[in-house]
Amino acid sequence: MRKSPLLYITFGLSVLLWALNFIALDLYLYWTIGWYDIMMHFLGGLTIGALVVWFLNLGDRSLRSFLMIFLYTMIVGIGYEIFEYVNGITFSTQKYPVDTALDLGMDAVGATVAYLIAKQIPKFSSKPLVAA
């Protein structure tokens, strides 16, 4: 089995995201530090974007690769926003559209950074799990 540095990086990002979320929920950081949610959505977009790059073995400089990374990341981001709304874990109903737009914007920035990083990595050493 070949090693895949990108998979290890993605795993590390996932653990970091989980740990920061755990700490945030325990210390109420989402409600006391305004920028914490923004940072978490950026990290979430970066993590999902990196996972998509690894899973689909993307990393070339094509527009198609960027669109795949962006699309899958936004699907997860929109799914999470729906989850937040349905479960009533939003900050306020008055500013919810603005918060949602900012959250999805940060997811998009994270996905874009994942693409920019991936295109700098030489061809991956792992084989794709799914034919692209």
pLDDT number for residue 108:
98
* DSSP per-residue letters across 67-87: HHHHHHHHHHHHHHHHHHHHT
d(CA 28, CA 21): 10
Residue 69 token pair? 């990374």
Q: What is the pLDDT of residues 13-50, one digit of tens each?
A: 999 999 999 999 999 998 899 899 999 999 999 999 99
Rounded Cα–Cα distance for residues 41 and 45 (Å): 6
Tell me what pLDDT residue 125 has.
40
Q: What is the pLDDT of residue 91?
A: 62
Tell me the C-alpha distance between 105 and 100, whole Å: 8
In this prediction the pTM is 0.86
For the chain, residues with pLDDT lower than 70 are 1-3, 91-93, 122-132
- The distance in angstroms from the start CA to the end CA of the chain is 21
